[in-house]
Structure 1
């Protein structure tokens, strides 16, 4: 299916250069962990990666002043976002609206690996536990 959502002539480049940073080192044996602030790339989103082999492990309860989108790359997770509990498996995406406390945990079996998109040029977080 061909897409034509806008006229390319209506958008002008703003002078930012393409950029590249390392998010994680993929050695094949350890879970990915890392972050790249959008500000370092000249962009509006910060990208994190979180991985764990431990069942029940995950980031602590926290909140951001911006939205966050989680992509489950491998494994299975249970997300707690505000009052909602959402189970997700590889290939699924979970949205966390700004201001809602959230966390997630590996529910196994095996490794959980996520890519977390913070809708902000820098990572801003307040831990709640």
Structure 2
């Protein structure tokens, strides 16, 4: 019996490795997506410079799972803002309005798991959106 793991290869990424997307004060590094995960999930790191807003409140059908890697990220989940220091875990179920920001004076990053996957094909449009709407300082919003 053939399984989808017969067609996928193991993935290893050293620190900092992956497919990089520069959005000014935000950078994303995709660790696994698409054929690497059989479109089941997407794993990426999102790094925000100090005092940087995110994409703004938005929804989509897939779940967004975040694990804070460094610094303190602030997440909007539903109608509540949550300060999440390093080691925090946050889930925005599919359809829930959510956003993320770095309101601190230090760089912050979160690992993002999007389920189901196939998120990375949207990145060219997301990069273009951020070029047209550069992230600002949360104090200005």
CA distance in 1 between partners of 2:52 and 2:117 (Å) = 30
Structure 1 unaligned segments of length 5 or more: list them: 1-11
The size of the alignment, in residue pairs, is: 112
Using the size of structure 2 for normalisation, the TM-score is: 0.65
Do residues 38 (structure 1) and 33 (structure 2) align? yes
Using the size of structure 1 for normalisation, the TM-score is: 0.70
What root-mean-square deviation, in Å, do the aligned CA atoms of Structure 1 and Structure 2 show?
Answer: 3.0
Residues 30-59 of structure 1 show CA distances to partners (whole Å, capped at 9, x for unaligned) of 975223553220341111221121314223
Q: Which has the larger radius of gyration?
A: 1
User: Which of 37, 54, 61 lines up with 2:57 in the alignment?
Assistant: 61
The aligned residue for residue 7 of structure 2 is: 16
Please tell me whether the aligned partners of residues 74 and 112 of structure 1 are also in contact (alpha carbons under 8 angstroms): yes
Q: Specify the SS of the correspondent of 1:40.
A: helix
Query: Between Structure 1 and Structure 2, which shows a larger proportion of helix residues?
Result: 2
Q: Specify the SS of the correspondent of 2:35.
A: helix
Using the TM superposition, name which of 14-23 and 113-122 deviates more. Answer: 14-23
